[in-house]
Amino acid sequence: MAVKLVKGNELQFGTYGMEHINLPPERPKFWDTVKVAKIVDSKTFSEPRFGISFEKAPPCSPFKHRFAEYEEVLYIVSGGPLRITYKGQILDGNAGDFFIFPEGEEIMWEVVKDVVYITCHYPPVDLIIKAREKKYGLKK
């Protein structure tokens, strides 16, 4: 693979792409409101190493989220706060802040005001989605 420049004005935003999967009912509806541009996926390198997404999220009520099958580093580009409650501690992240989410941890996630962030995750999101397709099955 050659060096590549990804121009911000050429990013294509969509949803997470999981609307075709029979996910459990407790899946947060918030995920359908987040606009996602995948910058790096499993096909970017010769081996699937990590994924990077640029995301824009509107305010949402708190919901429980568990990093069941992946690890993630999140950098807040603008806006916020993005409020994370972890083991009773409230962590408000704003522009310039990072969150580090180890695999297996459970949090409460709340977007207080619009937030734009970049996520770096392992494995890449497209592989996470494929694993969920296999686990939950596809909608008819």
pTM score, whole prediction: 0.89
Per-residue pLDDT of 111-132, as tens digits, reads 999 999 999 999 998 898 888 8
Block residue for tokens 């972890």: 86
Residue 20 domain-assigned (yes or no)? no
Given this model, what pLDDT does residue 33 score? 87
* Residue 99 covered by a domain: yes
- Report which residue type is found at 106: E
- Tell me how many domains the chain contains: 1
- Has residue 14 been placed in a domain? no
Over pLDDT 90: what percentage of the chain? 58
Domain membership of residue 1 (yes or no) is no
pLDDT at position 140 over 80: no
Parent domain of 69:
33-136
Whether 68 is in a domain gets the answer: yes
Q: State how far the Cα of 5 lies from the Cα of 13, in Å rounded to an integer.
A: 17
Cβ atoms within 10 Å, residue 104: 11
Note the pLDDT tens digit of each residue in 6-43. Answer: 898 999 998 877 777 877 666 777 878 899 999 999 98
Closest-CA residue to 86 (of 102, 69, 70): 102
Most confident of 18-27, 29-38, 63-72, 80-89: 80-89
In a domain, 62, yes or no: yes
